[in-house]
Chains A and B, each alone.
Chain A
Amino acid sequence: MPDEGAAGTRPVGSSVEAVFREERGRLLASLVHRFGDLDLAEEVASEAIEAALVHWPTDGVPSRPGAWLLTTARRRAVDRLRRDRVLATRLAVLQAEAERTDPAPPADADRDLPDDRLALFFTCAHPALPAQDRGALTLRFLAGLTTAEVARAFLVPPATMAQRLVRAKRKIRDARIPFRVPGTDELPERLPTVLQAVYSIFTEGYAASSGPDLQRTDLAEEAIRLARILRRLLPAEREIAGLLGLMLLIHARRAARTGPDGGIVLLDDQDRGRWDHRMIDEGRRLVLVALTGGPPGPYGLQAAIAALHDEAADVASTDWPQVVALYDVLLGLVPSPVVALNRAAAVAMRDGPEAGLALLDELADDARLRGYHLYPASRADLLRRLGRYGEAAAAYRNALTLVGTEPERAHLLRRLESVTAEEPAD
């Protein structure tokens, strides 16, 4: 792929790269807005970047690099449309319709490019697209990653990712998923998939099981960057503040999350002195925004829970009554058994393991938790705290048959060993 060259080692490489990182998403969005076609936009954006790599090292980086790239890309697109009459006809139809329905893009005085990215966010995360591809499209088009980089992000072979992106783009084109910002009345329905796409990029950064990929902070940071862009574009949407806050409050713990052996360190055992307190402060301010001025949303609530963990000196002094209260509200909004499971763990901290265990037992028959290792693992932890070591051992063994990731296995095995050592006293 031609745009792979952006990662090259040219003399002005670093400044050129920095510009591309910032401008690629904007550039693509402007081109999609103008020409109504993702493929054409990608193609001419790559060509413009290639041209920049040829000209900038000798001519210097232009004063308005974004405008330079856009002008160059637009010229290439016009050339391409002159040569390809079929494409031109099809896009002319699209353009005519787009002009009928689209208001002018918002002007952005700070930058040398108009900002059309918001519409593209909604296209990439459109509910008519498969949920698993929305994050990938968002990374490709809004974060400006190459297809190979997106493949790396989601740990799939590049060819697989290329195929998925091609299929998604084809659906966008053939079903004519529009490039437009939904109206205020549509936002409550349409914003959640955008937030979810960004959050899926973030959780992917933490999803790896072990090794050098245990935490891919660059991916988490990419998601944070995207949320910051969204927050600037839709400042009134409190759930965006909630999402950004949630990610910052989790990401603030990154340095304490990996042990000396490269394994995962769970929240309870983390060295809280190594948390990023500036990031926590920013996250807490965002929680206030997310929870003020109306009923809270699920991201705002999760951020508030994360903030309570981040504010506490240790597990014991965490404000568990408040954590439980927030889970109560969250469970009302998102009636998921995983939320109920987390709530039960918090109740165990507030009222003791017996109370938590009773709540877990109520979830025993929920089919959605079947095969979910954290259910037996949570039970095992509470049984261990109650000194019921035999039952705890059985539950740990059960969890071990379900858990997939190495660090979690190692953690459960350690726990299993400790309770089997206690078992005779049972």
Chain B
Amino acid sequence: MKYMLLFMSPTTDWDTPVDGCDFEDWIRYDREMKDAGIWVSGYPLQDLTSCTTVQVGPAGERTITDGPFAETREVLGGYDIIDVPDLDAALEWAARSPGALGGGSVQVRPIAEIEVEV
């Protein structure tokens, strides 16, 4: 079963270093997932200053805006998709990630597998 781990970082703490959340810790976490054979895909994201929002209205008109910027408490900093037997295993990987430390949190979302008849 596939789960997406969404790493939510507290925006206010962007510059404060937190133990266990260094670049090297992320590299190690990445390697652990790949060694365990459960990693499917995943990327870190650039910060919100590079974000652009697109909306399409009822008449097909496009609105393109800069942002959003951090009005919310937490910002998505990256994600991984893993393939593990059940939620307990997914929660275990979430808890081991550097993203769960220092005021950050990890949201664990099951991937919806849409079955298509062949």
Contacts and interface: CB of A to CB of B under 8 A. Distances in A.
By secondary structure, the A interface counts as loop
B85 interface: yes
- Of the four ranges (under 10, 10 to 19, 20 to 34, 35 or more), the interface on chain B belongs to under 10
B115 A101 contact: no
A175 interface: yes
A175 B110 contact: yes
- Of the four ranges (under 10, 10 to 19, 20 to 34, 35 or more), the interface on chain A belongs to 10 to 19
Contacts of B108: 175
A274 to B, nearest CB: 47
A180 B86 CA distance: 10
Contacts, number: 30
Contacts of A174: 110
Interface in B32-86: 85-86
Contacts of B1: 97, 176
A177 B115 contact: no
Given A86-B115, A174-B110, A175-B110, A97 B91 contact: no
Nearest to B109: A175
Identify which of A97, A128, A176, A180 gathers the most chain B CB atoms within 10 Å of its CB.
A176
B87 interface: yes
A100 interface: yes
A263 interface: no
A158 interface: no
A346 to B, nearest CB: 37
B86 A176 contact: yes
B86 A101 contact: yes
Interface of B: 1, 85-88, 91, 108, 110, 115
26 contacts: A86-B115, A89-B115, A97-B1, A97-B85, A97-B86, A100-B85, A101-B86, A126-B87, A174-B110, A175-B87, A175-B108, A175-B110, A176-B1, A176-B85, A176-B86, A176-B87, A176-B110, A177-B86, A177-B87, A177-B88, A178-B85, A178-B86, A178-B87, A180-B86, A180-B88, A182-B88
